[in-house]
Structure 1
Amino acid sequence: MLHTGLNHERGGDRSPRRPEPRNQHSASVAPKAPPGEAGDLVTVPARLGLEAVDVLRLEQRVGPVLHDRAGDTLGFLVPTGTAEEWELPSSACIAVATRPGHCPSTPPVVGTAWLIPPDEELPEATDPGLLRWALDRAARTIDAMDRCR
């Protein structure tokens, strides 16, 4: 099960904390990809990814998202440099040739299609910290649904 950002101290709140959006002054922020340069792609199993998309949509903070044509995997475009620090179970992060905020209508990865295409209303790649939080919330939701069956 995927868990991140939890307070496990005795009696502490065990709910995930929604991170504040990172800004350019944060030391841990991955730099934005300038137009024409590579971005990164976080891939997750489709069920987890679809739940995370719902969480991010509620926050109105989801960027472009890809899906593989087989329906097994979703990919979130994130800023360049995210792959260097990304370590989260059930996911992978790789560099891809794309332009976050200025992506072409053709997906940057062969064999994929846009689930949420880039457009003028979604100009930014998804914030990696917010994506981690959304994936944690999604994993908890899936776990709770599975226990009810």
Structure 2
Amino acid sequence: MQHSPTWTRNLSEPKLLAAGEDWDAVRVSADVAVRAVRDLEARGVPVGPVLHDLCSEQAYFLTPPGTAQDWEQDGTRALGSGSWVVLAPPEWDGLLRWVRDPTDGPAHTPADDLAAALADAMATAEEAAR
């Protein structure tokens, strides 16, 4: 059975939503996000919703509320209370696309696991650029 997070209800088009209550978000470049998702999957970590913004080539991992308060990782930006993020409805197919749909798995990606996967993904991206 799929769950439908509260914030997805009554969402019929992309909408600006406040972070910090149902979720925080970690923003990172889309190419690093793809590597991080693969790493998390390979380690058996449940991956929560991940949104790809095709205009900015940024991705947003939804994390537990409060994540942004202590988040410190180069190459990323944590968005918590006081921040806003445009989120799309589940299964949206436009310039915002879900890499991991919010109804397909857990509500969040665990912050510690995400931090480790992003660090590995960024190191791999740097090596590939050399």
Q: Same fold (TM over 0.5)?
A: yes
Q: For the residues of structure 1 that align with 2:125 and 2:24, how far apart are their CA atoms?
A: 26
Give TM-score, length-normalised by structure 2: 0.69
- Aligned-partner residue type, residue 52 of structure 1: A
Q: For the residues of structure 2 that align with 1:67 and 1:92, how far apart are their CA atoms?
A: 15
Larger radius of gyration: 1
Alpha-carbon distance, 1:64 to partner: 1.0
Q: Which secondary structure state, in structure 1, belongs to the residue aligned with residue 99 of structure 2? A: strand
Higher RCO (C-alpha 8 Å, min separation 6): 2
Task: Choose from 107, 116, 125 the match for 2:100.
Answer: 116
Q: Which has the higher strand share?
A: 2
Unaligned runs of 5+ in 1: 1-33, 98-102
Q: Partner residue of 1:41?
A: 25
Q: Partner residue of 2:119?
A: 136
Task: Choose from 68, 78, 99 the match for 2:53.
Answer: 68
Q: Which has the higher helix share?
A: 2
Give TM-score, length-normalised by structure 1: 0.61
RMSD: 2.6
Q: Partner residue of 2:16?
A: none
Alpha-carbon distance, 1:69 to partner: 2.6
Say yes or no: does 1:125 pair with 2:112: no
- Aligned-partner residue type, residue 117 of structure 1: D
Percent identity of the aligned residues? 33
Q: Number of aligned residue pairs: give it.
A: 106
Query: Any residues of structure 2 matched to 1:47-66 within 5 Å, and which?
Result: 47-61=31-45, 62-66=47-51
Task: Choose from 64, 67, 73 the match for 1:82.
Answer: 67
Unaligned runs of 5+ in 2: 8-20
Change (3 A) 1:119 1:38: closer
